[in-house]
Amino acid sequence: MKLLVTGGAGFIASNYIRHILSTYPDYHIINLDKLTYAGNLENLKDIETSDRYTFIKGDICDGELLRETEFDAIINFAAESHVDRSILDAQPFLQTNVMGTCSLLEIARQRGCTFLHVSTDEVYGSTTEGAFNEASPLLPNSPYAASKASSDLLVRSYVETHNLKAMITRCSNNYGPYQFPEKLIPLVIINALNRNPIPVYGDGMNVRDWIHVTDHCRAVDAVFHNGTTGGIYNIGSRNERQNIEIVNLILSIVAEKFHVEEKVLTNLISYVRDRKGHDRRYAIDPSRIEQEIGWKPDINFEDGIEKTIEWYISNKQWWQRILSGDYMTYYNTQYGERLKT
């Protein structure tokens, strides 16, 4: 099986590639990634020399490149993924998340190959009661969420019109190793370690539903093998937390590990102006994937967050090279292209 994984240098897909290579000895992964600011080939250092792994620097919008590339199936992780950036400039979100998905759907249609589209619970918008299921209406609130909802609808249209064997997964908030430090959990860990201010948006009471990245990767793989054409599968681990609760939990674990008074770290918390259109609460009902596919999460949040903190403590160089910008030169040293700037 030659699997085209898009966005493989990002947080979730790099974890996914590692998971697939160690699970299936006969799989070959082709990682197609544009290497935007969020793409970091250092996430894949340990597997980059595998003869079952090929990296291609390229854009999912590039139809010609897709036609030149051989593969049997597509797992589409590539996206502009950060809500705050979509508020500042929606354009790249539409380009990659919508137009890019369209190019991939086209090549999948021409080749008749399976297409798994990795989407998000943010397409459902915000809810005060209950949890989103797959029949919940699409009510995206941020430009990021709107671009993901648009791509989900495009996938649906290729199933209905062209009978493409495509599936959609919609996962809740991920955490774990290799997450880019613009996202809440790595940001809080790193700022606590560096004793920098920890920005909490609004009143800190917004709720997210957290899942460990490895559980998400296992779920995507389970849907790839056992999902039905046109199937939509919510992925979550029934783990709702207020942001401030997450922040305090991280700070208490860091304080304990470094034998510092918790107050020293909680003093770093800084309530800042709220995100525009900030969704109040996400909650995912994963009953369908549990009942129809037999997937369930393995990692309990308290264990997962402690291991994640330990990972960031042991991999200081990984995030320091992101903060300094040095990670961007890795491609050039490994793959021989000269830096343009």
Task: Count Cα neighbours of 14 within 13 Å in the Cβ-side half-sphere.
Answer: 21
- Is 148:97 a contact under the CB 8 Å cutoff? yes
Can you give the binding site for ligand NAD, defined by CB under 6 A?
6-7, 9-13, 32-36, 38-39, 59-61, 77-81, 96, 100, 118, 120, 148, 171, 173-174, 180
Residue 189's binding partner out of ligand DAU, ligand NAD, none, with CB under 5 to 8 Å set by partner kind: none
Residue nearest to ligand DAU (CB): 120
Distance CA(101)–CA(118), nearest Å, equals 10
Catalogue the active-site residues: 121-122, 144
Closest approach of ligand DAU to the CB of residue 92, in Å: 14
User: Looking at beta carbons only, is 105 or 265 nearer to ligand NAD?
Assistant: 105
Residue among 3, 5, 6, 15 at smallest CA distance from 179: 15
Residue 60's binding partner out of ligand DAU, ligand NAD, none, with CB under 5 to 8 Å set by partner kind: ligand NAD
Residue among 16, 17, 47, 42 at smallest CA distance from 29: 17
Number of residues that bind ligand DAU (CB under 6 A): 19
Task: Count Cα neighbours of 47 within 13 Å in the Cβ-side half-sphere.
Answer: 22
Residue 42's binding partner out of ligand NAD, ligand DAU, none, with CB under 5 to 8 Å set by partner kind: none
Distance CA(217)–CA(237), nearest Å, equals 13
First to last CA, the chain: 38
Closest approach of ligand NAD to the CB of residue 261, in Å: 32
Is 199 among the residues that bind ligand DAU (CB under 6 A)? Answer: yes
How distant, in Å, are the alpha carbons of 83, 147, 196, 277, 286 from that of 142? 7, 9, 28, 7, 23
Helical (H) or strand (E) element with 104 = helix 101-111
Interface map 32-61 toward ligand DAU (x if CB under 6 A): ------------------------------
Distance CA(273)–CA(232), nearest Å, equals 35
Residue among 174, 171, 274 at smallest CA distance from 223: 171
Is 158 among the residues that bind ligand DAU (CB under 6 A)? Answer: no
User: Looking at beta carbons only, is 158 or 178 nearer to ligand NAD?
Assistant: 178
Residue 61's binding partner out of ligand NAD, ligand DAU, none, with CB under 5 to 8 Å set by partner kind: ligand NAD
User: Looking at beta carbons only, is 270 or 315 nearer to ligand NAD?
Assistant: 315
Binding region for ligand DAU (CB under 6 A) out of 43-51, 78-86, 156-164, 221-229: 78-86
Residue among 128, 132, 122 at smallest CA distance from 281: 128
Closest approach of ligand NAD to the CB of residue 180, in Å: 5
User: Looking at beta carbons only, is 6 or 206 nearer to ligand DAU?
Assistant: 206
Residue 199's binding partner out of ligand DAU, ligand NAD, none, with CB under 5 to 8 Å set by partner kind: ligand DAU
Closest approach of ligand DAU to the CB of residue 272, in Å: 7
3-class SS at 100?
helix
